[in-house]
Structure 1
Amino acid sequence: MIRNRTRVLSLSALALTGALALSACGGGGGDNATAELGTEENPVQLGVVGASEAYWTTYEDAVEAEGISLDIVDFTEYSQPNPALSEGELDINQFQHIQYLADYNVASDDTLQVIGATVIYPLGLYSTKHDSLEQIPDGGQVIVPNDTVNQARGLLVLQAAGLITLQDGGNAASNLEDVIEEESKVTVSALDAAAIPNSLPDVDGAIINNDFLNNAGLTGEDVLFEDDPADPASFPYINIFATTEENADNEVLAQMVEIYQSNEDVQAGVQESAGGTAVFVDTTVEELQTSLVDTEEAIRSAGQ
């Protein structure tokens, strides 16, 4: 496939600042920042985690077919795309759910906004050693992601599965220190979400984000236990497109969201990448933004 208008950038954490500065002539800033967004002179800078997934190529082609010039910027860690968006090096990102964005906004005193929903993924417990929860032994080793939001959600999954007990029943801010060891069947440690698939053979089970199921050679059918996307309590885990307050009403970005939500080839690719676990969400931006504000308020209250 010839790409004559877009490029995919893969940035490591160490090279992030310098590499983005070099690309400042794109949509995020630089000499062409005043040009209309989405033109060849000022392509939209979209930050994602895992641009190697085939559906991003499909999406890129669909966006360009509508006359929007797009650069996909691939990040290696969840911690990178929001600061890049805040600093003006991106115009939009798509890698996180509402809960993650709320946590970032509160921790960073930022005001990033939701402009559209994508999917909600159940978060699941997987194992290559055991075929059922019952086979996980007392004292078994289980890994959860080490980022704040996914760690809390992963711990709640383990508690619902009957493998651990959390202080006060657990909540969206739970961490490893909240695990009551004497009341838990397994011991839990944390690792970067992207590194967990490679460590799965060494432990009895792991909470694996859907972004990395393919890396582990797994599909949704391999899950031992997962939370329920249909539960109203899962609403903050809807994945989203995010941008800055200044760009929240940008028509080009809104069109990009609509393409993602309506293109059947893109949706098929997302579903394939997710191992059949993705649940596409049809909800308004207003509902999403209300959930973001409510979640931010809950986080602030919990920290007081």
Structure 2
Amino acid sequence: MKKWSISFLIIAILGFVVGCGNKKEESAEKVEKVKIGVVGENNEVWDYVKEQLKEENIEIELVKFTDYTQPNAALAEGEIDLNSFQHQIFLDNYNKDHDTDLVSIADTQIASLGIYSNKIKDVKELKEGAKIAIPNDLTNGGRALLLLQTAGLIKLDKTAAQTPTVKDITENKLNLKIEELDAAQTARALPDVDASLINSGMAVDAGFVPTEDAIFLEPIDETSKPYINIIVANGKDKDKEVFKKIIKAYQSDGTAKLIEEISKGSSTPAWTQDK
């Protein structure tokens, strides 16, 4: 009887050990990995979201790109699962030019475009023939020209709407010389120009605090809606449950506070605007 009891005890222990092993394997299998494309090195907000999602067995890998042309191509090719770097106008233009089906699944933040300079402290100090660097893509370039108009430096053809080009400049009293560069280069061009229009993320990467260092900052108001930054997925994947969990984690009170803190007011949580 003792031998039988010992045998049963050994079997029970082995069963418990195997069961624990299976549970660990099941737990490991439940971890969902999602690759998200971002632009630039400063990704504190996504790093925060990553930590929150670990509790839900979601592992986020941030894939960093250096310019705006790469993340959509990588998403369309299935190299990443989501990206978070652009606004709706940029996405619409990309889909049109590349015949892709990339869709917005959530708003993130509104980040102001700014005019920066190493040579002057106010846009009113710009002189005749001053050199101005702007992004060379249609959407960010158009946004830059609209900001120059808001600053009172040029006037644009109204029919150009949200995507004017330099050809749509109808008035340029200072005869400003507009130089179109890749968006990633506008910050680096500062020593060679009188002023440069730099996207918020690129400005932060260059060491600027937009609300403190820009000589003119894009106002955030009802006209800002086309420039709300978004999370983007492939159309066929847009309803994945794991994406819904990522959106919920991003659009949280903790994330909203972090956005306002690290940007020092330069960026605003977009999902809170209508509340």
TM-score interval w.r.t. the shorter chain? 0.7 to 0.9
- Choose from 95, 112, 117 the match for 1:127: 117
Cα distance change of structure 1 residues 39 and 78 upon mapping to structure 2, 3 Å threshold: farther
Q: Residue 282 of structure 1 aligns to a residue in which SS? A: helix
Per the TM alignment, residue 121 of structure 1 is displaced from its structure 2 partner at its CA by 1.6
Cα distance change of structure 1 residues 177 and 273 upon mapping to structure 2, 3 Å threshold: farther
1:89 aligns with 2:76: no
- Choose from 198, 201, 210 the match for 1:211: 201
Paired with 1:276 and 1:64, the residues of 2 have a C-alpha distance of 28
Cα distance change of structure 1 residues 272 and 208 upon mapping to structure 2, 3 Å threshold: farther
| TM-score of the aligned structures, taking structure 2 as reference length | 0.80
Contact 1:144–1:207 (CA<8 Å) still a contact in 2? yes
Per the TM alignment, residue 72 of structure 1 is displaced from its structure 2 partner at its CA by 1.3
Runs of 4+ in 1 over 6 A off after TM superposition: none
- The aligned amino acid for 1:105 is N
The answer for the alignment partner of 2:133 in structure 1 is: 143
1:221 aligns with 2:212: yes
- The aligned amino acid for 2:217 is E
Contact 2:129–2:176 (CA<8 Å) still a contact in 1? yes
The answer for the alignment partner of 1:33 in structure 2 is: none
Q: Residue 240 of structure 1 aligns to a residue in which SS? A: strand
Q: Residue 93 of structure 2 aligns to a residue in which SS? A: helix
Structure 2: gaps (5+ residues) = 1-28
1:281 aligns with 2:274: no
- The aligned amino acid for 2:269 is F
Describe the superposition over 1:200-244 as per-residue Cα deviations: whole angstroms up to 9, x where unpaired.
13322111100022233321122222333212x321111111111
- The aligned amino acid for 1:277 is S
- The aligned amino acid for 2:194 is D
| TM-score of the aligned structures, taking structure 1 as reference length | 0.73
1:254 aligns with 2:244: yes
The answer for the alignment partner of 2:181 in structure 1 is: 191
Paired with 2:272 and 2:73, the residues of 1 have a C-alpha distance of 26
- The aligned amino acid for 1:226 is L
1:230 aligns with 2:224: no
The answer for the alignment partner of 1:271 in structure 2 is: 260
Paired with 1:107 and 1:208, the residues of 2 have a C-alpha distance of 24
1:50 aligns with 2:32: no
Cα distance change of structure 1 residues 108 and 163 upon mapping to structure 2, 3 Å threshold: same
Alignment length, in residue pairs?
Answer: 245
Per the TM alignment, residue 39 of structure 1 is displaced from its structure 2 partner at its CA by 4.8
Counterparts of residues 25-174 of structure 1 (less than 5 Å): 39-40=30-31, 43-168=33-158, 170-174=160-164
Paired with 2:129 and 2:189, the residues of 1 have a C-alpha distance of 18
Per the TM alignment, residue 273 of structure 1 is displaced from its structure 2 partner at its CA by 4.5
Structure 1: gaps (5+ residues) = 1-37, 288-304
1:176 aligns with 2:161: no
Contact 2:42–2:205 (CA<8 Å) still a contact in 1? no
Paired with 2:234 and 2:272, the residues of 1 have a C-alpha distance of 20
Q: Which moved more, 1:218-227 or 1:138-147?
A: 218-227
Cα distance change of structure 1 residues 273 and 79 upon mapping to structure 2, 3 Å threshold: farther
Contact 1:117–1:283 (CA<8 Å) still a contact in 2? no
Contact 1:53–1:273 (CA<8 Å) still a contact in 2? no
Per the TM alignment, residue 169 of structure 1 is displaced from its structure 2 partner at its CA by 6.3
Q: Which has the larger radius of gyration?
A: 2
Per the TM alignment, residue 255 of structure 1 is displaced from its structure 2 partner at its CA by 0.9
